[in-house]
Amino acid sequence: MSLAAFVLAAASGFVPPVDFEREIAPIFAARCLDCHGPSKQRSGYRLDVASIARTGGELSAPNIIAGDAAASFLIRYVTGADPDMQMPPRGEPLTEGEIALLRRWIDEGASWPESASARVADPLDWWSLKPIVRATPPAKSPNAIDAFIAQRLARDGLPMSDEADARTLCRRVTFDLTGLPPPPEELESFVADTHPAKYERLVDRLLASPRYGERWARHWLDVVHYADTHGYDKDKPRPHAWPYRDYVIRALNDDKPFARFLEEQIAGDALFPATRDGVEALGFLAAGPWDLIGHEEVGEDKIDGKIARHFDRDDMVGNALGTFASVTVQCAQCHDHKFDPVPQRDYYALQAVFAAVDRADKRFDADADIASKRASLTAEIARIQAERAAIEQRTAHACGPDLAAIERELHAAERADTPAEFGFHSEIAAERQGTKWVQVDLGEPRAIASVVLAPCSDGFNGIGDGFGFPRRFRIEMSDDPAFERGVQLVRESTDASLGSPKSAPIAFDAHGGNARYIRVTATELAERKDDYIFALAELQALDASGRNLAAGAAVTSLDSIEMADRWRRTNLTDGIYPGAKHAAARTAELRLAREQLRARLESATDTARRSELDEALPRATSALAALPPQQLVYAATIHTGSGAFVGTGAQGGKPREIRLLARGQVTQPGELVEPAALSLLGPILPADLGLAPDAPESARRAALARWLSDARNPLVWRSIVNRVWHYHFGRGIVDTPNDFGRMGGTPSHPELLDWLAATFRDDMRGSLKSLHRLIVTSAAYRQRSDATNPAAAAIDRGNALLWRANARKLEAEAIRDSVLAASGSLDLSMGGPGFHDFVVEQPEHSPHYRYDRADPDDAATFRRSVYRFIVRSQMQPFMTALDCADPSMRVDRRNQSLSANQALAYLNSGFMLAQSARFAARVERDAGQDPRAQIERAMRLALGRGPDDVERASLERFTQRHGLANTCRVILNLNEFSFVD
């Protein structure tokens, strides 16, 4: 603007508004976008996208408040008004002219024309976020999969390879579907079978076998990071985690529709109430690691306690969205996701979905009949109690304060024999010579005839009566709560034996002295266990008539351990103490008095009804007690606890408040966030879950479950078919099954992926067995793995296009189970608690899981590997050497390593050697003493084929020299045993 124009504008009172494109954008471009632009978004802030510039940022959002430059942090930062934050951090500060322009632009409303940010790519424009489009298979083919695969190969001029021979196919598909080798007899009869549909029949038989669920449950448990211990510090066991593992096996064997499988795992309790599966499936949300110390030793009021609970929800959110939708939401906890359209707010909205639950043992009835009986009895009891309470209330109203007084005294008398409320208990001191005091406030100065002290009784360390009663103490009275002025001494006691072992109350004459406060000061503490305390059950101040002036009086003290209900200050004046005089007789008197009072004042109808109810209640409670015991599953649940780990149960399961945390720091809470799903599907499937403000917490999870299983959710249906494909071929159509975002892979066969997703969702109605059947009967799956095709190898050595089958290295579980199968040791009993292949030492504190101390010949460990008790902090060495899944991570693909420590595990571990010996004994049983027959049998059991002449000669020679056990060890170590063609 020229000077003349400016003068003119000023003179006319009109200043043209700042032009963003021409005046502001260049400032941002020159001075800001290096750190807050397309390549970097420091503090999650960028000045090239209007919406983020206005509302984004982790430290002080919003940084631009349209119409108020003075309040806008952007201005504070560029002017240096904030001593901690000068922007730009390097180089010259902005000129005064530039700052003035920015101020004026904001004050004028910070207008940012659409066209200015049109340059930024649409973050929702990404393959996995678009609706599933069901393509027509490109050619007629008995199996549509082959049409897609062949078409893609043809683009590079490549053919598929020939079908593998019957023996190879049988081994491949049997391992694939059941994780075990085919028994030699079944293999031979399959090879000999001439029926044209023999392969399809084999597939059906395998899918019907319970071994199928065990095999594929293990894949699922990898993804959901299941284990039988918590992990972190102490790594305590979860003895009731296994029902979830069994649920997965059962669901797969029953071919439960996938949508239901999904919904049960997130909100089974809400969507399928009173079903066993609906509860056990919730083990999914609790499957991951849990910080016991951060929950049980640190309360939610402390920073470390908040962090523990933040990460607890984080793990649930990650498991739910990562497993089912292949979205890496956890990247958005400190800032908006850097690559995918997941704003930080979406992440916290998901945390809000899980804000009420904790991980704990959840009680339930596996039997639906019993569950419904329990529900109706519980409801009946509640109804009786409510009706009775209403009558009591009416009567109490009619009886007035007299009844209340009786009730109060009765309550104390009834509990005097075995009180739960022990008394007051000081903090623990290391030295005997300490001073601790406790005092009561009578509300106003009163004339006190005597002070009575009742000692406690506590069996701790075998102490019993007189627990905590000080060896030396004094009793004083004063009107000064600080006991600095006007102190009257009642008693200075130096009799160390006074409190113990008697537990009867001890009276001290106060001579009718007048005072408002009574203080007891311990000057030599009582021994507890290598430490020292001061405890008292009751303090009474009796007036001349014997009435206790201190009943219910306020109590203060130097310190107190305050562990409700047992130890707390208020217990000192609650009338409850060991051996309260004539408790039983007094109880009877009081009950009689209560009945008489009621009889006088209660209405006749109420009296009649009350006696009916009093008969009905014990009937119902004993019927409830007679039901078989409930089952437990470690799951997400509303927890009602004590100490630091209280949960939300006491608040009726009211969800915790979830706030957006700047930089993911619990110390920097921002605005409240309401529960919602992800916004990344845009209009295809809105994030809003349509929850009423007062919806119960389970409605949040139910809504999220329905959002995920919705037929319109393209992520979920693609994710599951891709996972299944991955396990069948060794590689997914998208090779990052947990990540369908911009940091993950893109589909090698996008049309096939969508066709499979749509077919699985619509035609197969989520039947995984139908999907398996379709895949393993395809020609693509049945190709040879050892085919050679130089042209194909030149273009696609990685075989992404599937011009042949992939030879597979068996996973740790398949190896271990195959060893057991070969040796004849395999125990196929299903379900129940996991077997221990370790010895636990020092279980009371931090259990040491000692695999080296276990007996490898313990038959209890010969079950399938899916039933192994999985320890997080001390992973099983043999399985780990063979690349089993790490239960601290959500594993979508196993690593495949080949290392010397793996070779040593195969060669020398107790498991392999004990099984080699058993394998040899079995072969001897089966084949007798002839070495030739022995070798034939051993090879067939382990490899599904007989030896050729060269192998036979070598193995026979070796067997004659070193015995059959050594031969069996060699066979189990062969490459052929661990690889399937």
Q: Which of residues 206-265 bind other proteins (CB under 8 A)?
A: 231-235
Sequence-distant (≥ 6) Cβ neighbours of residue 404 within 8 angstroms: 396
CB 321 → other proteins: shortest distance, Å? Answer: 11
Nearer to other proteins, 736 or 778 (CB): 736
CA distance readout (Å), 627 to 178, 280, 362, 694: 38, 20, 18, 34
Position among 136, 788, 829, 929 found at the interface with other proteins (CB under 8 A): 788
Nearest residue (CB) to other proteins, 383 versus 957: 957
Q: Is 615 in the site for other proteins (CB under 8 A)?
A: no
Residue placing its CB nearer to other proteins in the complex, 63 or 229? 229
- Per-residue contact string for residues 909-948; x = within reach of other proteins by CB under 8 A: xx--xx-xx-------------------------------
DSSP 681: T
User: Across-strand partners of 439?
Assistant: 519, 556
Q: Please give the Cα distance from 715 to 761 (Å, whole number).
A: 12
Nearer to other proteins, 253 or 978 (CB): 978
Distance separating the N- and C-terminal Cα atoms of the chain: 78
Q: CB 873 → other proteins: shortest distance, Å?
A: 3
**169 scored as a contact of other proteins (CB under 8 A):** no
Rule CB under 8 A: is residue 777 a binding residue for other proteins?
no
Q: How far is the CB of 748 from other proteins (least distance, A)?
A: 6
Question: Which residues, numbered 497-556, are part of the site for other proteins (CB under 8 A)?
Answer: 531
d(CA 819, CA 583): 70
Q: Which stretch binds other proteins (CB under 8 A): 72-80, 541-549, 760-768, 892-900?
A: 892-900
Options 209, 631, 767, 954; binder of other proteins; rule CB under 8 A: 954
Q: Give the residue, chosen from 211, 890, 937, 940, that forms a contact with other proteins under the rule CB under 8 A.
A: 890
**Shortest CB 805 distance to other proteins, Å:** 12
Q: What is the 3-state secondary structure (H, E, C) of 915-981?
A: HHHHHHHHHHHHHCCCHHHHHHHHHHHHHCCCCCHHHHHHHHHHHHHHCHHHHHHHHHHCHHHHEEC
One-letter identity of residue 844: E
- Identified binder of other proteins from the candidate list 378, 385, 896, 960, rule CB under 8 A: 896
DSSP state of 23: I
Query: Does the CA dihedral 285-759-210-859 come out positive or negative?
Result: negative
In this chain, which of 259, 905, 938, 941 binds other proteins, going by CB under 8 A? 905
Q: Please say which residue, 689 or 970, places its beta carbon nearer to other proteins.
A: 970
Residue closer to other proteins, measured from CB, 206 or 316:
316
Instruction: State the minimum distance, in angstroms, from the CB of residue 846 to other proteins.
Output: 4
Choice from 251, 449, 699, 955 touching other proteins (CB under 8 A): 955
Contact 304, 665 (CB under 8 A): no
Question: From the CB of 722, what's the least distance to other proteins, in Å?
Answer: 11
Q: Which is nearer to other proteins, 540 or 873 (CB)?
A: 873
- In order of 17, 338, 341, 773, the CA distances from 49 in angstroms are 21, 14, 13, 48
275 neighbors 369 (Cβ within 8 angstroms): no
Distance CA 393, CA 700 (A): 37
Instruction: Return the residue of 898, 930, 932, 960 that touches other proteins, per CB under 8 A.
Output: 898
State yes or no: residue 644 binds other proteins (CB under 8 A). Answer: no
DSSP strand pairing (848-850 vs 839-841): antiparallel
b/e string for 840-859 if b means 16 or more Cβ within 10 A? eeeeeeebebebeebebeee
Nearer to other proteins, 192 or 794 (CB): 794
- Tell me if 877 contacts other proteins by CB under 8 A: yes
- Sequence-distant (≥ 6) Cβ neighbours of residue 264 within 8 angstroms: 251, 271, 272, 277, 278, 281, 282
**Considering only 455-463, 696-704, 862-870, 960-968, which stretch makes contact with other proteins by CB under 8 A?**
960-968
Cα 303 to Cα 298, 315, 667, 669: the distances in Å are 9, 18, 7, 12
Q: Does the footprint of other proteins cover residue 659 (CB under 8 A)?
A: no
Task: Tell me the H-state helices in 300-367.
Answer: 303-325, 344-353
Using alpha carbons only, what angle is made at residue 34 by residues 28 and 37, rounded to the nearest 5 degrees? 70
The contact mask relative to other proteins for 32-71 (x = CB under 8 A, - = no) is: ----------------------------------------
Supply the minimum distance, in Å, between the C-beta of residue 563 and other proteins: 14
Across 548-695, the runs of DSSP E, i.e. the strands, are: 554-557, 631-637, 659-661, 669-672
Alpha-carbon span 98 to 810, nearest angstrom: 66
CB of 798 to other proteins, least distance (A): 5
CB closer to other proteins out of 334 and 616 = 334
Least CB distance to other proteins at residue 328 (A): 3
Out of 39, 84, 157, 929, the only residue in the binding site for other proteins (CB under 8 A) is: 84
Q: Which is nearer to other proteins, 434 or 468 (CB)?
A: 434
Round to whole Å and give the CA distance between 896 and 809: 8
In the complex, least distance from residue 460 CB atom to other proteins, rounded to whole angstroms: 17
For residue 854, the minimal CB distance to other proteins (Å) is: 11
- Residue whose CB is less far from other proteins, 316 or 518: 316
Burial class, 585, CB count within 10 angstroms (exposed 0-12 / middle 13-18 / buried 19+): exposed
Among 875, 923, 927, 935, binds other proteins (CB under 8 A): 875
Q: Rounded to whole angstroms, what are the CA distances from 817 to 175, 766, 810, 955, 978? A: 11, 29, 11, 24, 12
Please answer whether residues 526 and 460 qualify as being in contact, where contact means their C-beta atoms are separated by less than 8 angstroms.
Answer: no
Q: Give the containing element (helix H, strand E) for 793.
A: helix 790-795
Asked if 319 contacts 329 with a C-beta cutoff of 8 angstroms, the reply is: no
Residues 652, 899, 925, 946: which binds other proteins (CB under 8 A)?
899
Residues 589 to 608 in contact with other proteins, rule: CB under 8 A? none
Q: Which of 236, 591, 894, 952 is the binder for other proteins (CB under 8 A)?
A: 894
Q: Which of 12, 418, 895, 929 binds other proteins (CB under 8 A)?
A: 895
Rg (CA), the chain: 37
Cβ distance to other proteins smaller for residue 601 or 787: 787
Residue closer to other proteins by CB (options 324, 577) is 324
Number of residues that bind other proteins (CB under 8 A): 116
Site for other proteins in 404-463 (CB under 8 A): 428-431
Considering only residues 710 to 769 of the shown chain, the ones binding other proteins according to CB under 8 A are: 731-732, 734-736, 738-739, 741, 743-746, 748
C-alpha 655/C-alpha 652 separation (Å) is 9
Of the candidates 214, 362, 216, 215, the one whose C-alpha atom is nearest the C-alpha of residue 276 is: 362
Contact by Cβ (8 Å): 187, 171: yes
Whole-angstrom distance, CA of residue 594 vs CA of residue 410: 9
Which of residues 328 and 540 has its CB atom nearest to other proteins in the complex?
328
Residues 826-865 that bind other proteins (CB under 8 A): 842, 845-846, 848, 852, 856-857
Give yes or no for residue 609 binding other proteins (CB under 8 A): no
Site for other proteins in 806-825 (CB under 8 A): 807, 809
CA atoms of 396 and 577, how far apart (whole Å): 27
- Which of the ranges 100-108, 266-274, 336-344, 567-575 carries the binding residues for other proteins, by CB under 8 A? 336-344
Candidate residues 29, 529, 889, 928; the one interacting with other proteins per rule CB under 8 A: 889
Please give the residues from 284 up to 313 whose contact with other proteins meets the rule CB under 8 A.
Answer: 289, 291, 293-294, 297-298, 302-304, 307-308, 311
